[in-house]
Amino acid sequence: MTAVTCTVAPQQPPPPSLSRTALRDVLGRYASGLTVVTGLDDEGPVGFTCQSFHSVSLEPPLVSITVQRTSASYPRIRRTGSFTVNVLSGAQQAIADQFGRSGVDRWAGIRWLPTAADNPSLEGSLAWIDCEIVAEHEAGDHVIVVGRITGISPVAADDHDPLVYYRSRYRRLTAD
Ligand SMILES: Cc1cc2nc3c(=O)[nH]c(=O)nc-3n(C[C@H](O)[C@H](O)[C@H](O)COP(=O)(O)O)c2cc1C
């Protein structure tokens, strides 16, 4: 894995227009899908809800996830060298909640099967994407993790809707 350090200008106190509340309000106006990033180590399955998943490159096939520096799950995943992105369907709001909560058994009641990389594929997801971790970029209070895709598969039928996240709320797509 290549570790790249991001060069960001020294920290200045942000102006009031860039308060956390203002940033949340404006950045939250960008709608996204939702994923659960999973891995498997000696202790068992590990995973967390992740909004910041992006398609990066087709050749080579790369994606990125952005992980809180305080994450307890990511160091476990990192040690295995691989992770799997589960793309959530509209029927999986409870799963997004469960994997975004701390202090609970995130795997209670969860049905999953191993992917090609042996990581958990959550039943009912739209697709899974297996990745090998190839780079990490420090970015403020987060780390941008770049994964090279090693395997993919649709899971649910094509007519299932995605789970959408917009302005801190779960949404469903509606037909035109
Ligand atoms: C809707 C939603 C989106 C989230 N998106 C991210 C994300 O993009 N990156 C991230 O590190 N954590 C994200 N989280 C928080 C994690 O799911 C999790 O709560 C956090 O990583 C702490 O758990 P951990 O210590 O087991 O990693 C999100 C949570 C929710 C509910």
pLDDT digit string (tens) for 159-175?
A: 789 999 999 999 998 77
| Predicted local distance difference test score (pLDDT) of residue 1 | 61
Whether ligand 1 lies within 6 angstroms of the CB of 68 is answered as yes
Residue at 87 is within a domain: yes
Burial class (CB in 10 A: 0-12, 13-18, 19+), 85: buried
Q: Which atom of ligand 1 is least distant from the CA of 68?
A: 11
Residue at 108 is within a domain: yes
CA distances (Å), origin 21, targets 25, 27, 131, 164: 6, 10, 34, 21
pLDDT band of 71, cuts 50, 70, 90: very high
CATH of the domain at 46: 2.30.110.10
pLDDT at 151 exceeding the cut of 70: yes
Residue at 91 is within a domain: yes
Give dist(CA 134, CA 148) in Å, integer: 6
24 phi/psi in degrees, rounded to 5: -60, -45
Tally of domains within the chain: 1
Residue at 19 is within a domain: no
Read off the pLDDT of each residue in 122-146 and give the average, rounded to a whole number. Answer: 97
Residue at 26 is within a domain: no
Domain that holds residue 63: 31-154
Give dist(CA 41, CA 25) in Å, integer: 37
pLDDT digit string (tens) for 90-121?
A: 999 999 999 999 999 999 999 999 999 999 99
Give dist(CA 146, CA 62) in Å, integer: 7
| Predicted local distance difference test score (pLDDT) of residue 169 | 97
Cβ(135)–Cβ(2) below 8 Å: yes
Read off the pLDDT of each residue in 54-80 and give the average, rounded to a whole number. Answer: 98
Whether ligand 1 lies within 6 angstroms of the CB of 46 is answered as no
Whether ligand 1 lies within 6 angstroms of the CB of 50 is answered as yes
| Predicted local distance difference test score (pLDDT) of residue 14 | 76
pLDDT at 13 exceeding the cut of 80: no
Nearest CA residue ID for atom 29, ligand 1 = 100
Residue at 37 is within a domain: yes
Residue at 7 is within a domain: no
Cβ(73)–Cβ(145) below 8 Å: no
Whether ligand 1 lies within 6 angstroms of the CB of 33 is answered as no
Read off the pLDDT of each residue in 31-45 and give the average, rounded to a whole number. Answer: 98
| Predicted local distance difference test score (pLDDT) of residue 7 | 58
Taking the CA of residue 70 as centre, how many other CA atoms within 13 Å lie in the half-sphere pointing to its CB?
Answer: 2
85 by DSSP, 3-state: which? strand
Which residue has tokens 């949404």?
171
| pTM score, whole prediction | 0.93
Pick from 98, 102, 76, 75: which is nearest to 86 by CA? 98
Residue at 80 is within a domain: yes
> First-to-last CA distance in the chain?
44
pLDDT digit string (tens) for 119-131?
A: 999 999 999 999 9
pLDDT band of 31, cuts 50, 70, 90: very high
